[in-house]
Structure 1
Amino acid sequence: MPLALLALAIGAFGIGTTEFVIMGVLPEVAGDFGVSIPTAGLLVTGYALGVVVGAPVMTVLGTKVPRKRMLMLLMGLFIAGNLLSAASPTFGMMLAGRVVASLAHGAFFGIGSVVAATLVAPGKKARAISMMFTGLTVANVVGVPLGTLIGQSASWRVTFAIVAALGVAGLLGVARLVPEMPGPEGVRLRRELSAFRNVQVLLAMAMTVLGFGGVFAAVTYIAPMMTHVAGFADGSVTWLLVLFGLGMVAGNLIGGRFADRALMPMLYVSLGGLAVVLALFTLTAHDKIASAVTIALIGGLGFATVPPLQKRVLDHAQGAPTLASAVNIGAFNLGNALSAWLGGLVIAAGLGYTAPNWVGAVLAASALVLAVLSALLERPPVAGDHTDAGDATGVLRTQPAGTSRT
């Protein structure tokens, strides 16, 4: 694999760390600024919404900028946002820093996915994408626990300063290792928008929202679920999240490898398995060992969907992949926000801390249904059927008998 993928993975590691580490230092941040925990939670919500909005906006603004230079600019924005967070004198400034950093998230992964796929042979695209996302998954194993430890023992400001330094390393890596990519002539806004006429692109994005939403329906409430239901001590939650992160690493690598061989079967297995495991989590959550194994499986099956879904968007947005790829990254965060909200509703309704697992199972099962529908829509026509399976909109179009195509 090209060394340029290492630079992308370093940037992804920094982004993954800053996205999730705030959950580990939220009490310290709330205490320093004198705000409540729910108010401090806006730092999580604000970041997620910033990703959803920033993914298409930053990509559109960068359509006239060569991809390598745009990746460098995005890392610069990421560094600035984390430095602002580290030095914020008020909670409002801290929130602003989080939003600034989040604006780089979706566009970096979206453009980075296109770059990663361009650097390798066609049969290795999903694996290359998974290599970049390995940085994000490893962040949950190393970056988030370490950042939480530093934030609790020293200061959360030191944590965000270190994350900014990771951004500098990513910026330098992109500048040195990523080759020059096509300039403005290769990325035109009108062409990029045309990808959203393709039904297959829209279906893949819907699968992203529902599939990964299923993961975060459960994981968002993992702390109260594990302490109140499974009986773990508060301090054990960090290591349970490490197990989740290890599952993410394994699932990401497996998903990337098998998506290059059989993309749709990989999606069937991962989404179907995820729905089953999430449903079983309502039972296994009552046992320490069983719940720990289940958490790792959720991370593995959930992230096994990422490379194939990202590659599917790229495959069906050929000639105009950049914006679609970035918007699909925003779809992951939209799924996170949607599932966290739905999970909160069922808990507030008095259904218990394990109820979000049923929400996640339904979301994942819905994504599986869309995967089957997507495959049915792109089946080649049977012999003698005058249909065109390659229509740019992704909709089968009948060709009148007796006519020919030139």
Structure 2
Amino acid sequence: MTTAPTTRTAPPAAPKSRPTMPLTVYVLGLGIFAMVTSELQVSGLMPVMARGLDVPIPQIGYLISYYAFAMAVGGPLLAVALLRLRHKSGLMVLFALFVLGEALAAASPGYAVMVLARIVTGAVSGAFFGVALAVCVEVADEKLRGRATSLVLGGLMVGTVLGLPGANLIGQHWGWRASFWTVTALTAVVGLITAATVPALEKQEARSLREETAELKRPRLWAVFSTSTLVIGATYAAFSYFTPILKQVTGFGDGTVPLLLIAYGVATVIGNNVVGRLADRHTLPVLTAGLIALTAFLTLFGLLADQPVPAVVALLGTGLVGVTMNPALVTRVMRTANGRPLVNTVHTSMITMGVVIGSWAGGLGIGAGYGLRAPLWVGATLAVLGFLSLLPDLITARRIRRATDPAATTGP
């Protein structure tokens, strides 16, 4: 007697687990938070630093320019010097240099030493952005890279919301040196956390300087960089002059303006998170919509800056769609070139140049006699130029869509 063979049903396939965000991403964001706090702290400590260093207030303002210039020019040079190191080793070298530079600023006996300290910390900050983004690309799942980038760059937004007022509060109560020492200690602690939590990534394939810089010879990459410069330039042309505009044009009091700037910072955090979730799958649509919205908000601000409600709407709208486009800008660059530190650092330099160009052009408008609304119109103009810089990619994407989807050509 034979028995019928039994059929075994295969166990159901285990559902694919969704990729999770590595802890490293959050730690890198914390590092950027510490360095951004250092970058911005001078702007709120100008009077006390001027008295402490016995120089006029404009001389203290130049410290911001020295930092930005060092970030834009020194950052790539420092990134080149670190090319042959593992990424984690490069991060630790940068943390050590930054702590030394910030400590030098805290203990500086005079203005010249402070300038040197700002140049060191600015160059380190520029290189750190590039290496941090390269590590982010390595550790994050491909599906999460846009959001991971937004979390790393979120340190910039949080530094504006929390780090800047925190450093200034310490400076006002315990002196500007205490503010610098606090950032020194914060950076040292973050460096230790990084050493303990960031994995020792595999050594990158050794590449010559010629190979590393080959990507930078591509005209298309510089066209992509230009969009980043224009987006950030448009935002900072306005942001740099928000305080006098809100006080002297809109008519808000001294107690209200800081609250509005905090609300602006919160808007940047929200916008950064939203863009980060959309950047991978919808890079060009996000940038297109963002630039159109940025143009609209800055135009609204320019037209109705003397009306409190429209001014606040425009302020918050600029926060939602201005610097928050960074994750999409970074994603676009990484798709155009490699995700290695040198390209990322040069991209950071181009973003920093946007800060310099935007604030400078806004100031020129005021100096030319066009009033405090001039920076808003300068920002709107730069946003329009940023949109125009997207047109070649938008046209190419449309052609590809038509070639792959005949229905897109013939219609319903």
Give the alignment's TM-score, normalised by structure 2. Answer: 0.89
1:90 aligns with 2:110: yes
1:117-156 correspondence to structure 2 within 5 Å: 117-156=137-176
CA displacement at 1:190 relative to structure 2: 2.3
Task: Tell me, in whole angstroms, the C-alpha distance in 2 between the residues paired with 1:31 and 1:302.
Answer: 35
CA displacement at 1:377 relative to structure 2: 4.4
> Does the Cα contact within 8 Å between 1:26 and 1:41 map onto a contact in 2?
yes
Q: Name the SS for the 2:370 alignment partner.
A: coil
Farther off after superposition, 370-379 or 56-65? 370-379
Q: Name the SS for the 1:350 alignment partner.
A: helix
CA displacement at 1:337 relative to structure 2: 0.6
Amino acid in the other structure paired with 1:202? W
Q: Name the SS for the 2:256 alignment partner.
A: helix
Task: Tell me, in whole angstroms, the C-alpha distance in 1 between the residues paired with 2:403 and 2:309.
Answer: 54
Task: Tell me, in whole angstroms, the C-alpha distance in 1 between the residues paired with 2:246 and 2:167.
Answer: 22
**Matching residue within 68, 74, 78 for 1:58:** 78
1:226 aligns with 2:246: yes
CA displacement at 1:218 relative to structure 2: 0.6
2:185 matched residue in structure 1? 165
> Does the Cα contact within 8 Å between 2:300 and 2:310 map onto a contact in 1?
no
Deviation by residue 1:98-133 (Cα, 9 ceiling, x = unmatched): 111111112111111111122122121111111111
Amino acid in the other structure paired with 1:230? T
1:393 matched residue in structure 2? none
1:362 aligns with 2:388: no
Task: Tell me, in whole angstroms, the C-alpha distance in 2 between the residues paired with 1:49 and 1:193.
Answer: 21
Relative to structure 1, the CA distance from residue 186 to residue 263 in structure 2 (aligned partners, 3 Å threshold; closer, same or farther) is farther
**Matching residue within 13, 16, 26 for 2:36:** 16
Amino acid in the other structure paired with 1:79? V
1:318-397 correspondence to structure 2 within 5 Å: 318=338, 321-377=340-396, 379-380=399-400
**Matching residue within 194, 198, 222 for 1:202:** 222
Task: Tell me, in whole angstroms, the C-alpha distance in 2 between the residues paired with 1:86 and 1:335.
Answer: 28
CA displacement at 1:181 relative to structure 2: 2.4
CA displacement at 1:383 relative to structure 2: 6.0
CA displacement at 1:160 relative to structure 2: 0.9
**Matching residue within 52, 55, 58 for 1:38:** 58
Number of aligned residue pairs: 383
CA displacement at 1:382 relative to structure 2: 7.3
1:395 matched residue in structure 2? none
The CA RMSD over aligned residues, in Å, is: 1.8
Task: Tell me, in whole angstroms, the C-alpha distance in 1 between the residues paired with 2:197 and 2:81.
Answer: 24
CA displacement at 1:352 relative to structure 2: 0.5
For the pair shown, which has the larger CA radius of gyration, 1 or 2?
2
> Does the Cα contact within 8 Å between 2:231 and 2:323 map onto a contact in 1?
no
Farther off after superposition, 251-260 or 295-304? 295-304
Deviation by residue 1:139-171 (Cα, 9 ceiling, x = unmatched): 111111111111112211111111111211221
CA displacement at 1:294 relative to structure 2: 2.1
CA displacement at 1:184 relative to structure 2: 5.2
> Does the Cα contact within 8 Å between 1:46 and 1:99 map onto a contact in 2?
yes
Task: Tell me, in whole angstroms, the C-alpha distance in 2 between the residues paired with 1:64 and 1:159.
Answer: 35
Deviation by residue 1:206-258 (Cα, 9 ceiling, x = unmatched): 01111100000011111211111111223433322212211211111111111
CA displacement at 1:13 relative to structure 2: 0.7
> Does the Cα contact within 8 Å between 1:145 and 1:238 map onto a contact in 2?
no
